[in-house]
Structure 1
Amino acid sequence: MAALNQPGDFINVARKAELYDLITPKVFGQDELLDMRDQFARCGYVKLSSLLSQEALAVFREEMEQLEQLASRKRFEMPGYLTPRKLSVAGGGLIKSHSPALYSLYHHYALRNCVEQITGRPIYTCTHPEEYMVANFLHNNGDTHGWHLDDPAYALILFAETPPEQAGGEVEFISNWLDLCRRKNRKPDENIQDLIAWAEENGMVDRHEHKSGDAYLLRADINLHRVSPLKNAGDRRSVVNLAFQATAVADYGLTADLLYGMSAVV
């Protein structure tokens, strides 16, 4: 282990241990687990209410508040999807360098075990240097993370802050988007606005609100999803996304690089 030479090093190690120890294994009853596996298999989404204890949430929020000071502000239209990105972000590299406590969550056995219990299969570490763990901050009226697919299969989203009910910031998704695009003979990541409108008209868009301390698991590579725009000044939404692959080897496009990486768009 590297020597601890600065007072801040001891604080970081203590905070890392504190948050890591506060995240306890989630024990599901057999019937509850079967229901969640069935829901995830059908629609690719499971809500995990109050996954974080109040003690863990307090530490999590403090770490997020500090990380937000280093986050980069983004405002652009993602190529291909032609959907907006208006938010502040911190990629995996920044999190690892400046928030050891948050970084420790990516390797936390309890969180990984939770994902594997729901999916019913092994998961694998995301090999992208930035996308494996990202923090997203929506803190202005109109902030949004527009429609997209992720390259990693699974996204576990942990909520530090959420806006009031019906004030925007909901996760919205269209289940089995890839299947829909195949049936419609469409590309899933190009000029999709009219197909999204069609899905909305036909009741195919699911919406879910969450509270601080909640989490959800999403099959993010096949279900088109977005965060709806915040409606009011002063409302806030801050989350960490832990990404996991369904296979040991996975291909990655350029969208994560554009939002979080060296080629990020400002």
Structure 2
Amino acid sequence: MTIEAVSPAMTMRDAAAALLAHGNVPGPHVDTDEVARIDRMIARHRLTLDEKLTAAKRQYSAEHYARTTALLPAELISELRAEARRLADLNTRRIDITVPVTGDTPRRLGSLPNSLFQEQSKLFTALYNSVEFRSVLSTVVGTPVLDASFEDEKITGTHQSRVGDTHGWHWGDHEFAFIFIAEAPSIEHGGMLQAVPHTVWDKKNPAVHENLAGGTIRTYHHEAGESYVFKTDTTLHRTVPIQTEGVERIIVNLTLASLKDWLEEKSYETTNAVYTD
């Protein structure tokens, strides 16, 4: 078949298929044997997930957020917690800044950049490239999930360990984020996720307070080992500041894109501010 005989619709489908396939070609820092092992674990676990996937899809449709804890095997959750703990203990870089494009909201926390995961992570880099994992997330959000269009945003982490630590009100540059919670304080100590879905991020006029006043703030508490996926580009969100000395919250953020993210022109001020030296 010549290119002249290919319809525009077929060309777009082929291009979309190529983009999906590209997202599952691991980089040189990824252990492909580990990817295959995680694929097998999730594929076996998925045989038991019909009702839980349906519940997650329903929650995501209503809230642009879905708790995904039950969608991962318990063995994998334990392994991910251990790796996150190791990376946070060895590599946290403290920041205390405000970010202008989100209305000068604060970031007081330990920052774990994508480069750290490329250099020292075995499990999270494999999970990011797992076809089975992406299939589960795609089922929940109702559309394919792709690699983040900005390399530095693919896998990042935060470590909140001091009174007042917070990841202040902000949006995400990409449509989707999967958040794995390695450590979390009990609810009376803060650290909960707060989210306002169906908001618009205007970087020239973020209007954070106006968005808070005009929307519904949902508050979610998570235990250590839990996870969730949410729509970050239209969900204003933050973590409630840590209230008590001696508690901590460690999370790893896997940022994933929609096709729309790859078609839009983007800038990455928040990623550069929080995760770049």
Asked whether 1:145 is paired with 2:160, we answer: no
Give the TM-score normalised by structure 1: 0.80
Instruction: Determine if contact 1:52/1:213 at 8 Å carries over to the other structure.
Output: no
Which is richer in helix? Answer: 2
Matches of 1:130 and 1:243, distance apart in 2: 10
Structure 1 residue 106 displacement after superposition:
0.9
Where does residue 3 of structure 1 map in the other structure? none
Change (3 A) 1:141 1:252: same
TM-fit CA distance, 1:41:
2.5
Unaligned runs of 5+ in 1: 1-11, 182-186
Q: TM-score, normalised by structure 2?
A: 0.77
Q: In structure 2, do the counterparts of structure 1 residues 148 and 32 end up closer, same or farther at CA, with 3 Å as the change threshold?
A: same
1:191-220 Cα offsets, whole Å, 9 max, x none, are 534325524xx7x10000111221111000
2:111 to 79, 85, 89: 89
The secondary structure found in structure 2 opposite 1:80 is helix
Across the aligned residues of Structure 1 and Structure 2, the Cα RMSD in angstroms comes to 2.8
Give the unaligned 5+ runs of structure 2. 1-29
Paired residues for 1:1-266 under 5 Å: 16=34, 20=38, 23-25=41-43, 27=46, 32-68=52-88, 69-81=90-102, 82-178=104-200, 187=202, 190=205, 192-199=207-214, 204-247=216-259, 248-250=262-264, 251-261=266-276, 264=277
Q: 1:260 to 1:35 in 2, by over 3 A?
A: same
Pair 52,138 (structure 1): closer, same or farther in 2 beyond 3 Å = farther
Distance 1:214 1:100, change over 3 A: same
Q: CA deviation at 1:38?
A: 3.5
What is the identity, as a one-letter code, of the residue corresponding to 1:63? Answer: E
Report if the CA contact (8 A) 2:199-2:211 is conserved. no
Overall identity of the aligned pairs, in %: 22
Deviation of the 1:101 alpha carbon: 2.6
Flag the structure with more relative contact order, 1 or 2, with Cα contacts below 8 A and sequence separation at least 6.
1
| SS of 1:211 mapped into structure 2 | coil
The 2-side partners of 1:18 and 1:31 are apart by 25
- Alpha-carbon offset, residue 159 of structure 1: 1.1
Q: How many residues align?
A: 241
User: 1:17 deviation in Å?
Assistant: 6.9
